[in-house]
Structure 1
């Protein structure tokens, strides 16, 4: 099934992709890799003299938006930002199952195709779940990992998430921004952090993308025991999808070398403090 609703939707989504990439203010180049799951696109950018960092974005959004939100990474790291296959971007529109280890095998092939033995990894939400699957399939290919509000650790959706359905239906019927903001508020918690880039990417997802609701499933504890690389798991206290109290508890239980950080009074979509940004950079740089 196509990632987009139709050809016009695809064009509009990719136009937004290119527009948000241009806002980075950094040189970037396109890389297309062959994998057994389909052609995969990456954006290479950041500090070419820095440590290589493989970056995975959230589901139903894009690498361009993810880089814009986490622009602080570009100063220190040689970024390889992946367009998740089957999601918005320039990779193959092949649908991979989030219920098994397929995403992990795909991520492993990306590292091989880039000619690295192992890489530091940074993943947000769905992208964190992809890295978790990589931990299960090829733990030796991860140098270090930062998982930010990740899927795949403890996917225990609160019942309150169902409340998002009403404004979503209202938005689909009316296309009024006030309903889009109500949907976003479930994820941001705080109205003041809802910036234009986030509103635009959410609008793009709901209007142009065939939404994939399934998240990468929780990784098996026994497989996680084989993973030994240092990992920083950051979860948000009021995350409507992956609340910190559930995610961090299981991460500490599963991973041998794990640091955790809770984003207090924060939702799934949030703003990282300078302190947390510095912690991420320092952790990945060591």
Structure 2
């Protein structure tokens, strides 16, 4: 169990439902049985559009980071699964982020929907999931968008400790609004939405956090991967700083890489979300939308 109490789980599920009500698009929901447990999937967007799978970040709720892609909903059929073992409606069983487990999980979802290959996007931990798929089933990925991704550069422990350790520790000890505000500001360069702050406050205090990230991807693992890949970094990202991310991403992807860096934190502002959507849309038009 990842929740401190059953009433905490109920509260988190209600926060999830409240977030979905903010979406302008109709959201369909279904459960898919995978080898790692039952997976809750959100489906929305253009009914006859080309499929786009979006994996969310760790220690947050699927709709939070799904909302960052709202500019793509009109053109693509979106599949957004709740990651198993993370807060949400999927089974609470956590799986190994270092082997082929997440690749197999993603492949189970593709098989269920009858999708041979498609475009993928992942935020933070979700970016690491896309990279696990790229390592084991590269033929499944037509192109990829990785937003402030795990799985490329090491987690910046020094920078995170400097910016977040004290307020995070104090928040866990005394549930102080002041301290969670400091944590949220560090994660977002002061731009986190109120509803996101409220969800982060609940999860950080009352849910068993996921500390194990998808393994760092190697060039050897990507020898068979030949798909265009956009990486979006935050210059003020406390977890995966832009300069360290680029140092690893450039040799990892080579000519496949399209690089974007914005002056944002791990969570983007409204302004940066708009810019992201423009860049992501252009990328998909070039490498996916206009292809057979």
Residue 289 of structure 2 corresponds to none
Match of 1:22 in 2: 21
Instruction: Answer with 82-91 or 62-71: which moved more.
Output: 62-71
Question: Does residue 186 of structure 2 align to residue 172 of structure 1?
Answer: no
**Structure 1: 5+ residue stretches without partners:** none
**Correspondences of 1:99-248 after superposition (within 5 Å):** 99-163=98-162, 164-189=164-189, 191=190, 193-248=191-246
CA deviations on 1:132-171 (whole Å, 9 max, x unpaired) are 1110010000111000000001124141312322212221
Decide whether the 8 Å contact of 1:130 with 1:216 is kept in 2. Answer: yes
Shift, 1:276, TM fit:
3.1
**Do the aligned partners of 1:65 and 1:201 also contact (CA within 8 Å) in 2?**
no
Question: What CA distance in whole angstroms lies between the structure 2 residues aligned with 1:208 and 1:18?
Answer: 18
Secondary structure of the structure 2 residue equivalent to 1:129: helix
Deviations 1:162-218 (A, max 9, x none): 2322212221233221110111122112x2x12212211211211332111121110
What secondary structure is seen at the aligned counterpart in 2 of 1:117? Answer: coil
Task: Verify the 8 A CA contact 1:149 1:236 in the aligned structure 2.
Answer: yes
Provide the residue aligned with 2:253 in structure 1: 255
> Mean alpha-carbon deviation: is it higher for 16-25 or for 45-54?
45-54
Tell me the distance in 1 between the aligned counterparts of 2:69 and 2:202.
19
Contact 2:68 2:273 (C-alpha < 8 Å) held by counterparts? no
Following superposition, the deviation at residue 69 of structure 1 comes to 3.4
Conservation of the 8 A alpha-carbon contact between 1:155 and 1:217: no
Q: Is the 8 A contact 1:51 1:285 kept in 2?
A: no
**Over aligned residue pairs, what C-alpha RMSD do you find?**
1.5
Q: Deviations over 1:38-89 (max 9, x none)?
A: 1111100122132211010000111121223332222222110110010011
For the 8 Å contact 2:86–2:92, the answer to whether it is kept is yes
How many angstroms apart in 2 are the aligned matches of 1:273 and 1:35? 32
Q: Distance in 2 between matches of 1:14 and 1:39?
A: 16
User: Structure 2: how far apart are the matches of 1:273 and 1:30?
Assistant: 25
Provide TM-score, normalisation by structure 1.
0.94
Q: After TM superposition, which residue ranges in structure 1, 4 or more long, deviate above 6 angstroms?
A: none
Secondary structure of 1:224's aligned partner: coil
> How far apart in 1 are the matches of 2:19 and 2:183?
22
Equivalenced residues, count: 282
Task: Give me the whole-angstrom Cα distance separating, in 1, the residues matched to 2:64 and 2:159.
Answer: 26
Q: CA deviation at 1:113?
A: 1.5
**SS of the counterpart of 1:238?**
coil
